Structure 1
């Protein structure tokens, strides 16, 4: 197996199969395509001949973690060149699995391809503090929501005497505010964790 320009080549008897991305580096949330080249060794050393109809009895599946997607393979005008449009939605490693037959030769291989990168790899000028700005906005929204809830509780409790039927309304109010605060803190932490994952 060899790798160049982010493409990986495998050898199956007289065939060379190369797989990779159409646009490199592959970037999350940008349209791209998986390109596959299938060639057969020619009569002269170093000569390769593109194989037509290579996917007549063979399928290609894109794998990312536990997720899989069977690719809709299209023929390129050049002999032996194939592609499948894809829109990568997560960063990380991916592989192409080929299964079937190539001119009578059984095929069952997994070809690793270049990792999908975040958009920061091509962003210019770099955006500094963008994730912290999002985190600050999320915290502001959560605090604003908490303040509205506290105001609603105050307005509803304001007309009630401090002790009604043996229940201390002030303690109930304090407990409600404490509960809302814990809930808001949980929401804020969840939002921050989600933003950091991206």
Structure 2
């Protein structure tokens, strides 16, 4: 079983955790909730007693009686429960955690006559970059398109300038004309290389 948090209220053991782990921001996920009878532990406090036991003989039929209020700082949302079709006492509360951090799950409602108002803390939601590969480029697609268009225009202009310099070599110093042509071609090469580098960063 994944990293879950366990607690107790009245005669019941409660256990929560994320459906999919590691949990990351920006991905649809859900809180798993297990509700089962709490066995006797004469020498332990309720939470320690619950932690010493495993989920068994789950209590079904509570999907309409218990809700989860998920909170993060000042934001909160109340999530309905959906019962697992195969495992009595196992429920889901689906959610897409949009930011990383430590969420609090408040269990509210009633378990077979026992009022429930309990705060529990599932494992931390990690930043989505934790699993992203390769690292996304800093430039947006629009920025790259605009940059490529500008560079292409500059390369075209440089080609025209180089052509004019080359054509004018017959009327001036040949060595000077060749020098200017070399400078122009060098600048054009830098521009073309910049376009290629931008394409590599974008993954194209």
Q: What displacement does 1:42 show?
A: 5.9
1:119 and 1:23 map into 2 onto residues whose CA distance is 14
1:25 and 1:34 map into 2 onto residues whose CA distance is 13
Partner of residue 22 from structure 2, selected from 17, 20, 25: 25
Q: 1:22 to 1:47 in 2, by over 3 A?
A: closer
1:91 and 1:46 map into 2 onto residues whose CA distance is 29
Check if 1:87 corresponds to 2:96. yes
2:104 and 2:139 map into 1 onto residues whose CA distance is 33
**Please, what TM-score do these two structures have when normalized by structure 2?**
0.56
Q: 1:81 to 1:56 in 2, by over 3 A?
A: same
Unaligned runs of 5+ in 2: 41-52, 147-204
Query: Cα RMSD over matched residues?
Result: 3.1
1:6 and 1:47 map into 2 onto residues whose CA distance is 14
Unaligned runs of 5+ in 1: 142-198
Equivalence map 1:1-198=2 (5 Å): 5-41=2-38, 48-77=56-85, 78-124=87-133, 126-127=134-135, 130=136, 133-134=138-139
- Number of residue-to-residue matches in the alignment: 136
The answer on whether the counterparts of 1:27 and 1:118 sit within 8 Å (CA) in structure 2 is yes
Q: 1:122 to 1:47 in 2, by over 3 A?
A: closer
Q: What displacement does 1:7 show?
A: 1.3
- Structure with the higher fraction of residues in strand conformation: 1
